[in-house]
Amino acid sequence: DIQLTQSPSFLTASVGDRVAITCRASQDIRDYLAWYQQKPGTAPKLLIHTASTLQSGVPSRFSGSGSGTEFTLTISYLQPEDFATYYCQHRHSYPITFGQGTRLEIK
Amino acid sequence: EVQLVESGGDLVQPGGSLRLSCVGSGFTFSNHWMTWIRQAPGKGLEWVASITPGGTEMRYVDSVKGRFAVSRDNTKDSLFLQMSSLRVEDTAVYYCARLAGTTSIFDYWGQGTLVTVSS
């Protein structure tokens, strides 16, 4: 199974900051990586797929990069509504797996 | 507007069975792979099972193989998860989600239904 490891697991930042979350895969997954945002008590929301393609309706302050085994989700100019938990997910092969999550909290 | 609405979650004893349902609307249900993903309380996301548009092929995570069965009824725009031999560790919110095209990109999710396995 392909393991995804996110870092950091916990992050504090202020409104207006730029933050980056890394997702490392245990083997080459090409660009078969997506990022999701989840707020407490709600379902996850797709932000980015295929490593860097912004899902329709998602603000442009979110961006994704990377390929192979290392990927990054960057949020530029944090907004209050961005404080949430973020997950990466691969679709290279079965079983599909998610990273353990990165909780982003306001400083 | 795409909507997915799950139902069927409940409190069940270990070893018991339960059937979850998910009804889709706002899109052509029969054109899409569908999936179940779960989240244990306070934990991360775990993919459980996926099914092809025609319902002829299924994929499962190893921990549920032989115990869970995913199916669909395209005439009713419905997805199901039949769960048997339930274990305490199956306790979770179960989400149904739509896959974008033929990829395993989960572009729309339901609100989830809670399954609690406890004696």
What does the pLDDT look like over A10-52, one tens digit per residue?
Answer: 999 999 999 999 999 999 999 999 999 999 999 999 999 999 9
Question: Least CB-CB distance to A98: which of B45, B59, B107?
Answer: B45
Per-residue pLDDT, averaged over A59-80, amounts to: 97
| Length of chain A in terms of residues written | 107
Mark which residues 38-77 of A lie under 8 Å from B by CB.
38, 42-46, 49-50, 55
Check pLDDT > 90 for residue B101. Answer: no
For residues A56-70, average pLDDT: 97
Q: Where are the beta strands (DSSP E) in B13-103?
A: 18-25, 34-39, 45-51, 58-60, 68-73, 78-83, 92-99
Closest residue in A to B110 (Cα) is A43
SS3 B89: helix
Q: What is the mean pLDDT of chain A?
A: 97
Q: What are phi and psi of A82, to 5 degrees?
A: -85, -10
Question: Which residues on chain A are in Cβ contact (under 8 Å) with B114?
Answer: none
Cα(A73)–Cα(A22) distance, integer angstroms: 6
Measured between alpha carbons, how far is A25 from A3 in angstroms, rounded to an integer?
6
* Statement: residue B87 has pLDDT above 90: yes
Q: Say whether pLDDT at B104 is over 90.
A: no
Residues A72-83, mean pLDDT to the nearest whole number? 96
